[in-house]
Amino acid sequence: MHTSTVEIRVRYAETDQMGFVYYGNYATYLEVARVEALRSLGLSYKEMEVQGVMLPVVDFSIKYHAPATYDDLILVKTTIKTMPTSKIHFTYECLHGDKVLTTAETTLVFVNKSTIRPTKCPEDLIAALQPFFS
C-alpha cells in the first residue's frame, strides 16, 4: 500500500453562498492529490501522456462528512491499496485538523493515446510501487 499527502488551502472562489467549499471542487482537490501521489513515486502524468498513456477517470464516489470553509488548510491523504493492472484505484481522505471532511474513491483506466483502448499499467509505475507491496 502506498500513501501520500498534499495540503490545499481553500480559496475564496471555491466557496458557495453558505461559505462552504462547493461540493464539486473536491473533484479538483482529488485530482491534485492523485497527481502528487504519482509525483511522490518519481512519476508524472505529463510524462505518461508524452509516452502515449492517458488516465481517464471511469469511477468516482465521494461522501461528505463535514464542510470546509475559506482559508482552511485541507490535508488530502491518497492511498493506492492494490497494484494497478489496466486500472488504478485511489482512495482519499480530506482532513482539516483531525476532522474528516470527505472520503472518496476513484478508478482510472490506462488508455493508449493512439488507439483510445485500455492498456497495461506502465512498467515504471509498477516498478515504483513494487516496494510498497512486497
pLDDT higher than 90, residue 134: no
Q: Where are the beta strands (DSSP E) in 27-98?
A: 53-54, 57-64, 73-80, 87-96
Q: Compute how many other C-beta atoms are within 10 angstroms of the C-beta atom of residue 52.
A: 13
Domains and CATH numbers, the chain: 2-132 (3.10.129.10)
Burial environment of residue 30 by CB neighbours within 10 A (0 to 12, 13 to 18, 19 or more): buried
Q: What pLDDT score does 111 carry?
A: 97
The confidence band for 51, taking pLDDT boundaries of 50, 70 and 90, is very high
**Does the active-site annotation cover 16?**
yes
Per annotation, catalytic residue among 16, 72, 98, 124: 16
At a CB cut-off of 8 Å and minimum separation 6, what does 85 contact?
A: 120, 121
